[in-house]
Structure formats: structure tokens, C-alpha cells
């Protein structure tokens, strides 16, 4: 009997350890995805740009309406304010040309975008004003919108009466979706499972989702919503390890799809925080909050309140660690100092052993020098860290500059196509020479705003280095002049004139002339001017 119990315990521990090892491996992959998520966002932006180009070329209204539909699909989980704008464009086209069914669909798109922004009542107004004709009723889109809005109102209800009211509406629309969705669709299984979840029947809910995977031949790793629902069920069952596994799958899929409305990464952060993995939790929650701000998904703002303790705890934990290191260093330094004092006293009392004592002092001094060297190395690392942060800012501007180059190359490419006789493809776009100029102007404006946000007193501080009658004052409509913009990059640590010329689309000679002209106006020695600029706060 004892052997049987020990064997069962050993097998259970092995399974548990195996699960944790698998989750650790998946978490390391997720860490890389979080760190490099801008790559997936770039792919998403490229798809959006391609559709925008098609819209500019479109001549048929129905084609334009359809392209705006594709654009809405790209924006719906990416940027809610942009999704709302695109949906309104769809509605304008449909109403102008009396596309009745298309107008209904566009109104539902607007309601979805309003829901994402957090305007639930306005979204319901749009839905309530849509006639219930055959087209609308046979389209489960309408019922899904009602269901998702009532779910959010149920989730964030302030009182028990409100919660009961919205739960009743939510259950009614679950029943409706179960009735209208095809029996072999993922939506049917998710709603049926959700109904069992809300009634506390977790095993039945889990069984339904597992059955959906078999019947539809899909994996949870391929469907973020399915993986998230599985994680919720295991959370209710108290199986933390399996919950963590499915949250990782869901978060990974969301990030790869550039979905900014993901919930799984937030819940995973909370779970990891409770398990003591504070650094990773802090990283994930920071990523989630940045995505919420980027997407303007105000329906998620309420959830951030729950995550503030994680941020605070992570910050306090790091501060506490730093304090412990400082305390340990202080104690160590005190001990060394005490030994040094004892050595000095011993030298004074034991003149006969002066030589041996001197060696001991030399040894102690070597240790102090080593400690000072370590402190200097730490300071260098801190300075390097700051330099890297500034380099990141420079990289951001570099990306913006590359983006402008891409537009200019695109225009030149279109010109070459016309020369090759492909006039029908690009005739309407060939003379649009203002694209690069406008983008460059916008790039400068964004650079100026970001830089002045970081260094609001830069213009005044910079002018303090110049002769009173030679100071550089931006005009009313500009934030920085070309000279100030060049030295703004110098302040960020970019001192190479070639790089500055590349960033700002000036010639190297122009940058050199600007810099020489400004240095000639300085009240400080010319060889100190750059260092003084880089020290401006």
C-alpha cells in the first residue's frame, strides 16, 4: 500500500514538474515575442498601407466600400479610433449610393468600434436603430455585438441589480447565438461552453471546448479566444498550471496577430505575479498597458486598475533589492573601514612590526581600490544604459526617416512604370509629388514634439550658449529651426554629421555649414561647444 502511494506521488510530481518545464519553455518564447512585437506590428501596418493604396486607386464605389471593409477588419483589434473612422467612411458610401444592406453592415461596424472605445450606450443606439429585416436577422454579427456589449456591462456593473440585469440579457443573447450559429462553428461551441460556465458547470463547459477541437480539427494554439476560454475554465477549476499554459498560448497568438485588445497577457501577468515571477509580470503588464494606450481601447481602462498593485509591487520589489545591495555594500565598506582603523592602531602600538603592518595596509588599500574600480564600472554601466535609451530614441527617428524614403522611392517607381508604358495602373498617382514633402514635414514636426517633450527648456538653454544678438528663435508655426533640430540630435548623442544628414534628409555639406555657423555664434570655446550642448537638460 505504501509503495503504491509513493509511486502515485512520484508520478504526480513528475507530471507537475513536466508541466512547469513546458510552461517555462513557452514563457521564454513569449518573452521574445513581447520584446520583438514591433515586428508583427510592422507586418500589420504594411497590410493596412497596401489596402490604403488600393482605396486610392479604386474607381468603383462598391469596390471602395469593400476595401474599407477589409481595412476595418485590420483595424478592429488594432486601433479602435481608426476602426471607427473607417466604419463611418463605409456608412457614408452606402448611404450616398443607397446600398441598404451595406449601410446596415456599416452601422454594425460603427457600433463595434464604439464598443471598443468604451461608448456602450452609443453603440447600442446604433444597433437599436437598425431595422430587423431578413438580411440583419440572418447575420449573427448583430447578435454577437449585443452579446459582447452586454458582457462588458455585466463584467463592469457597479451594483448587484445591474449585474443581474445584464446577466439576464447576456444569457438571452447566448441562447440566440447558440440557435443561429452553425452547429459546427467555433462560435457555437464557445457560446454553448460559456453558458455552462456562467451556470457553474465547469466540467461540461470544458468537455464542449475539447469536443470542438476534435470536430473542427483546430488547436488552441491557433485560436486565441479558444485558448483564453480554456484558461478561464481551468482557473475556475483551480488548475493553475494548465491555466497558465493556455494563457501563454492565447497571449502568443494575440501578439503575433498584433491584437491590441488581448486579455490573456494581462491575466498571465497577474498569475505570474502571484507565483512570485515579478519581473516577468511587470514586463507583461507594461506591454498590455502600452497596447491599450496605442489602440485607444477605453473599454479596457477599468481593467488596468486591477493591475496597478502589480506595477507597484514590482517597483517596490526592485527598489527593495537595490536597497539591500546598497545596505550590503555599506556594511562591507564599514567592516573594511573598521579593519583599517584597527590596523592603524595596531601600527602605532607595535612599531616593531611596522613592516608587516605596512603590507597589511597595502593589501587593504588594494581592496579599497578594487571596490572603487567596481563602483566606477557600475557608474559606466549606468551611463551606458542611459546612452542606449537615447540611442533607442534615435532609432525611432531613423525608422520614421526610412518610412519617408520608402514613399519617395515608391513615387519614383511609379514614374518609371509610366515610362515603361504602364500608364493605366498609376496615371492618377504619378503627379502626387507632395507625399514625401508632407511626410518629411510631419516627421520633423513629430521629432520636434517628442524632443521638446523630453527637453522642454532646450531652446532657452541652447540660446544661453550663443551671443545675445545671435540667438536662434523659432518662428510662430515651427517648434525647432533646422539648426536647433541638428543640435537636438547632438543632444541625443548623435554627433556624426553623416548620420544627422541621413536622419534629417539634408546634405552632409548643409549639416556641416549649419554646425559651423552656429559654433561661430557661441560664447563658449568651440572645442567645448558640443560637450556643453550634450550636457543641456
Question: pLDDT by residue (tens digit) across 200-248?
Answer: 888 998 999 998 898 889 998 899 889 999 999 999 889 999 999 999 9
Q: With contact defined as beta carbons under 8 Å apart, do 351 and 318 qualify? A: no
Between 343 and 232, where is the model more confident?
232
- pTM of the shown model: 0.56
Residue 161 burial (C-beta neighbours within 10 Å; 0-12, 13-18, 19+): exposed
Q: With contact defined as beta carbons under 8 Å apart, do 515 and 497 qualify? A: yes
Between 436 and 97, where is the model more confident?
97
Give the mean pLDDT of 342-346: 77
What is the structure's pLDDT at 13? 37
For residue 469, the SS3 value is helix
Question: pLDDT by residue (tens digit) across 468-500?
Answer: 999 999 987 789 999 999 999 999 889 899 999
DSSP assignments along 163-201, one per residue? HHHHHHHHHHHHHHHHHHS-TTSHHHHHHHHHHHHHTT-
What is the structure's pLDDT at 379? 62
What is the structure's pLDDT at 297? 67
Distance CA 186, CA 264 (A): 19
Between 82 and 15, where is the model more confident?
82
Question: pLDDT by residue (tens digit) across 255-312?
Answer: 988 888 778 888 898 899 888 888 888 888 888 888 887 877 665 655 655 665 666 6
What is the structure's pLDDT at 71? 93
Q: Is the pLDDT of residue 427 over 90?
A: no
Distance CA 310, CA 267 (A): 11
Distance CA 152, CA 124 (A): 12
Within 472-525, where are the H helices? 482-491, 497-504, 508-519
Distance CA 432, CA 412 (A): 11
Question: pLDDT by residue (tens digit) across 371-392?
Answer: 766 666 556 545 644 654 565 4
DSSP state of 296: T
Q: How many CB atoms lie within 10 A of CB 387?
A: 12
Which of 257, 288, 40 minimizes the C-alpha distance to 280?
288
pLDDT category of residue 19 using cuts at 50, 70 and 90: low
What is the structure's pLDDT at 54? 92
Rounded to 5 degrees, φ, ψ at 158 are: -85, -30
Q: Is the pLDDT of residue 249 over 90?
A: yes
Q: With contact defined as beta carbons under 8 Å apart, do 41 and 47 qualify? A: no
Instruction: Output the furthest CA–CA distance in the chain (Å, rounded).
Output: 110
Distance CA 163, CA 129 (A): 25
Q: Which conformational region is residue 200 in: left (phi greater than 0), alpha (psi within -120 to 50 degrees), or beta?
A: left
Mean per-residue pLDDT of the chain? 81
Q: What percent of the chain is modeled with pLDDT above 90? A: 28
Q: Is the pLDDT of residue 128 over 80?
A: yes
Question: pLDDT by residue (tens digit) across 76-89?
Answer: 888 888 999 999 99
Alpha-carbon torsion (17, 22, 28, 30), positive or negative: negative
Question: pLDDT by residue (tens digit) across 62-73?
Answer: 899 999 999 999
Give the mean pLDDT of 120-124: 91
What is the structure's pLDDT at 434? 66
Q: Give me 391's grid cell.
A: 540611442
Residue 96 burial (C-beta neighbours within 10 Å; 0-12, 13-18, 19+): exposed
What is the structure's pLDDT at 342? 83
What is the structure's pLDDT at 490? 92
Question: pLDDT by residue (tens digit) across 302-313?
Answer: 565 566 566 666
Q: With contact defined as beta carbons under 8 Å apart, do 193 and 205 qualify? A: yes
Give the mean pLDDT of 347-351: 74
Which of 509, 523, 414 minimizes the C-alpha distance to 468?
523
Which of 298, 233, 310, 296 minimizes the C-alpha distance to 265?
310
What is the structure's pLDDT at 282? 86
Q: Is the pLDDT of residue 110 over 90?
A: yes
Amino acid at each position: 500500500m505504501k509503495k503504491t502511494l509513493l509511486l502515485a506521488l512520484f508520478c504526480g510530481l513528475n507530471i507537475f514538474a513536466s508541466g512547469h518545464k513546458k510552461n517555462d519553455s513557452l514563457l521564454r518564447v513569449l518573452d521574445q515575442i513581447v520584446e520583438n512585437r514591433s515586428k508583427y506590428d510592422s507586418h500589420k501596418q504594411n497590410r493596412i498601407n497596401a489596402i490604403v493604396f488600393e482605396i486610392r486607386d479604386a474607381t468603383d464605389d462598391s469596390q471602395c466600400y469593400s476595401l474599407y471593409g477589409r481595412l476595418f477588419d485590420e483595424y478592429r483589434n488594432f486601433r479602435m479610433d481608426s476602426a471607427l473612422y473607417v466604419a463611418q467612411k463605409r456608412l457614408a458610401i452606402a448611404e450616398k449610393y443607397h446600398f441598404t444592406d451595406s449601410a446596415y453592415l456599416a452601422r454594425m461596424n460603427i457600433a463595434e468600434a464604439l464598443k471598443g472605445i468604451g461608448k456602450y450606450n452609443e453603440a447600442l443606439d446604433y444597433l437599436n436603430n437598425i431595422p430587423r429585416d431578413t438580411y440583419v436577422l440572418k447575420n449573427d454579427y448583430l447578435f454577437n455585438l449585443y452579446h459582447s456589449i452586454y458582457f462588458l456591462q455585466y463584467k463592469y456593473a457597479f451594483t448587484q441589480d445591474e449585474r443581474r440585469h445584464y446577466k439576464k440579457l447576456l444569457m438571452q443573447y447566448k441562447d440566440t447565438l447558440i440557435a443561429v450559429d452553425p452547429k459546427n462553428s467555433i462560435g457555437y461551441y464557445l457560446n454553448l461552453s460559456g453558458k455552462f460556465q456562467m451556470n457553474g458547470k465547469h466540467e461540461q463547459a470544458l468537455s464542449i471546448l475539447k469536443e470542438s477541437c476534435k470536430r473542427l480539427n483546430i488547436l488552441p494554439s491557433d485560436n486565441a479566444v479558444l485558448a483564453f476560454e480554456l484558461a478561464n475554465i481551468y482557473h475556475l477549476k483551480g488548475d493553475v498550471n494548465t491555466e497558465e499554459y493556455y494563457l501563454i498560448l492565447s497571449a502568443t497568438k494575440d501578439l503575433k496577430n498584433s491584437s491590441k485588445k488581448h486579455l490573456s497577457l494581462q491575466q498571465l501577468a497577474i498569475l505570474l505575479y502571484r507565483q512570485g515571477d515579478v519581473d516577468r509580470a511587470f514586463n507583461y503588464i507594461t506591454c498590455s498597458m502600452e497596447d491599450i494606450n496605442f489602440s485607444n481601447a477605453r473599454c479596457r481602462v477599468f481593467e488596468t486598475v486591477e493591475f496597478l498593485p502589480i506595477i507597484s509591487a514590482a517597483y517596490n520589489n526592485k527598489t527593495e533589492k537595490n536597497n539591500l545591495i546598497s545596505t550590503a555594500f555599506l556594511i562591507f565598506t564599514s567592516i573594511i573601514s573598521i579593519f583599517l582603523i584597527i590596523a592603524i592602531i595596531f601600527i602605532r602600538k607595535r612599531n616593531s612590526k611596522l613592516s608587516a603592518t605596512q603590507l597589511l595596509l597595502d593589501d587593504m588599500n588594494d581592496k579599497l581600490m578594487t571596490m572603487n574600480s567596481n563602483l566606477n564600472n557600475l557608474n559606466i554601466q549606468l551611463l551606458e544604459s542611459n546612452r542606449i535609451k537615447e540611442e533607442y530614441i534615435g532609432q525611432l527617428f531613423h525608422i520614421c526617416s526610412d518610412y519617408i524614403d520608402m514613399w519617395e522611392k515608391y513615387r519614383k517607381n511609379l514614374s518609371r512604370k509610366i515610362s515603361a508604358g504602364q500608364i493605366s495602373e498609376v496615371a492618377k498617382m504619378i503627379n502626387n509629388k507632395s507625399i514625401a514633402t508632407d511626410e518629411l514635414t510631419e516627421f520633423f514636426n513629430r521629432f520636434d514634439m517628442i524632443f521638446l517633450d523630453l527637453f522642454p527648456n532646450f531652446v532657452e538653454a541652447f540660446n544661453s550658449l550663443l551671443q545675445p544678438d545671435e540667438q536662434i528663435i523659432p518662428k510662430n508655426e515651427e517648434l525647432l529651426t533646422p539648426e536647433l533640430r541638428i543640435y537636438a540630435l547632438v543632444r541625443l548623442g548623435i554627433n556624426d554629421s553623416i548620420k544627422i544628414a541621413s536622419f534629417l534628409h539634408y546634405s552632409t555639406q548643409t549639416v556641416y555649414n549649419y554646425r559651423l555657423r552656429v559654433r561661430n555664434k557661441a560664447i563658449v570655446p568651440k572645442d567645448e561647444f558640443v560637450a556643453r550642448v550634450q550636457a543641456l537638460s
